[in-house]
Structure 1
């Protein structure tokens, strides 16, 4: 029996495609977008009945769009990754290219959802905007306590631990050489947590500022630009750190694969195959009613 595509598997697929489950930056990127996709809207504010009724068909349409247009591309990437792994070509150059593919995919998703995001934001009451502001501040405070305030040595240790946990489902238990590679990578990332959170808060401040003019005619265009050009709100230090992080992650994964035992390579191949089967087992729903995903009225 084929399974219906739901929001949760969609986010899992987006964040976990191929080896990039180990890439925290992609997980964070989607976590920043998903409230606009409304998967976690209840974590930020309470929608009224009218807003929920307006949103539901649009959300259904977005899910159907992603299933029919984006999942085939993800499946194709997985097929290529498995073939390159078998041929010994799943290396840093391949992974850097895949990072570029995922950036493009994020841009496509952003363009798809921006009319709905703008339409929903235009409907917010002053009380809901204040609730959103408070929810963002509360979450950022929690993130700062967890990821920024601890001494750098503890941040590095947490980064190493989290990365090993994300890698083990793909490669099994890491050997000492592989653990040393992860430790070195975690140390190289330095204070990336602080740079990331500061840039996240800058973007959120810009969003909250735009919400003050949410009744204006050009609000949808401004929200689209805000979603599309997130990097324009990053600090110069974070831009450099992000680019360095992408390259170093590709190199880390390259080294881990090169040092993998036959059993680890087999597990990696099987894991890629299982994800490919999961995609094949998802059934694209056809939303009832008129397609409204591209309209915000």
Structure 2
């Protein structure tokens, strides 16, 4: 997340490749020191809550999963977060020099990929066991959650002029503003021009979302250990659960559009925006240091 996700370039796609570490990074964006301390102290609870919100786990499933999550978090803090911190420090230095450093961004991409790959190699067995244990009712619950996520696109498409789409783009823009500060008029126009989808492309997005969701749900309903294991391994190796040619091409086009905008966007940054980015990177690094007890 996606060449793969880059902290200062690929924020939206980090969410699309969610894993334990990415969930942790996302929680660091929540404001309030007291709340962050709660997150650090009860990270296992946060992860369990997120999983349960999609799968509606029963008591026995939670009892089996919780020690796995606790161990995975400890492993992550010990083995992976220190390397990510070092790379974020290099991103800070690049921002200090007001330079887009492709090598450093690639290094951070590799860090995120290695975390996902190693995490799923280490915990593949309990992950498969959890998914195999899901009841038909739990898979239906997941289906409803996934369908709920499609409603925004469906509602936009109901309007002849796609009038609600600007609200979606404004929310996406908040990510840029959070990390870079206020945008100039030219940057704002460039963002909306580049990221606004036509009706045809929005219909394609909805179609591909539904196709990959159907693929996941069908695999879970099959109770086929080989299919479910392959699903997890595919996500581990590629950052996507499905390698259908049409779906992969759709994802690549979407990612390319976002990356091309951001490469151009970095060339337009003001001194104040570079400084803002540097501060946000430092904040993230310090949050991660606190999380692993190295304040």
Q: Which residue of 2 aligns with 1:129?
A: 139
2:284 maps to 1:275: yes
2:60 maps to 1:54: no
Kindly tell me the number of residue pairs found equivalent between the two proteins. Answer: 263
Work out whether residues 48 and 66 of structure 2, in 8 Å CA contact, stay in contact via their aligned partners in 1: no
TM normalised by structure 2 equals 0.72
1:265 deviation in Å? 1.6
CA 1:79 to 1:190, structure 2 compared with 1: closer, same or farther past 3 Å?
farther
Q: Which whole-Å deviations, capped at 9, do the CAs of 1:206-261 have from their partners, x for residues lacking one?
A: 333233442x564663343353453644552x533432333343333333332222
Q: Which whole-Å deviations, capped at 9, do the CAs of 1:46-93 have from their partners, x for residues lacking one?
A: 322222111110111121122222212221221121122233431567
Q: Structure 2 CA distance, aligned partners of 1:156 and 1:100?
A: 34
Map of 1:59-78 to 2, 5 A cutoff? 59-78=69-88
Q: Which residue of 1 aligns with 2:232?
A: 224
Q: Structure 1 CA distance, aligned partners of 2:206 and 2:119?
A: 23
Q: Which residue of 2 aligns with 1:292?
A: none
Q: Which whole-Å deviations, capped at 9, do the CAs of 1:194-214 have from their partners, x for residues lacking one?
A: 444433332332333233442
Q: Structure 2 CA distance, aligned partners of 1:25 and 1:150?
A: 27
Map of 1:28-43 to 2, 5 A cutoff? 28-30=16-18, 38-43=48-53
Q: Which whole-Å deviations, capped at 9, do the CAs of 1:134-180 have from their partners, x for residues lacking one?
A: 4433x244244356555575465245312321111222211112112
CA 1:151 to 1:82, structure 2 compared with 1: closer, same or farther past 3 Å?
farther
Q: Which residue of 2 aligns with 1:26?
A: 14
Map of 1:82-231 to 2, 5 A cutoff? 82-90=92-100, 95=105, 98-99=108-109, 102-137=112-147, 139-146=148-155, 149-150=158-159, 153-154=162-163, 157-187=166-196, 193-214=202-223, 218=226, 221-228=229-236, 230=240
SS class of match (2:71): helix
Question: Could you list the runs of 5+ residues in structure 1 that have no partner in the other structure?
Answer: 1-15, 285-297
Q: Which residue of 1 aligns with 2:270?
A: 261
What value does the CA root-mean-square deviation take over the aligned residues? 3.5
Work out whether residues 172 and 267 of structure 1, in 8 Å CA contact, stay in contact via their aligned partners in 2: yes
Q: Structure 2 CA distance, aligned partners of 1:151 and 1:112?
A: 49
CA 1:226 to 1:279, structure 2 compared with 1: closer, same or farther past 3 Å?
same
CA 1:115 to 1:201, structure 2 compared with 1: closer, same or farther past 3 Å?
farther
Q: Structure 1 CA distance, aligned partners of 2:198 and 2:110?
A: 20
CA 1:210 to 1:47, structure 2 compared with 1: closer, same or farther past 3 Å?
same
Q: Structure 2 CA distance, aligned partners of 1:261 and 1:128?
A: 50
CA 1:44 to 1:243, structure 2 compared with 1: closer, same or farther past 3 Å?
closer
Work out whether residues 132 and 225 of structure 2, in 8 Å CA contact, stay in contact via their aligned partners in 1: no
TM normalised by structure 1 equals 0.71
SS class of match (1:44): helix
Q: Structure 1 CA distance, aligned partners of 2:287 and 2:187?
A: 28
SS class of match (2:77): helix
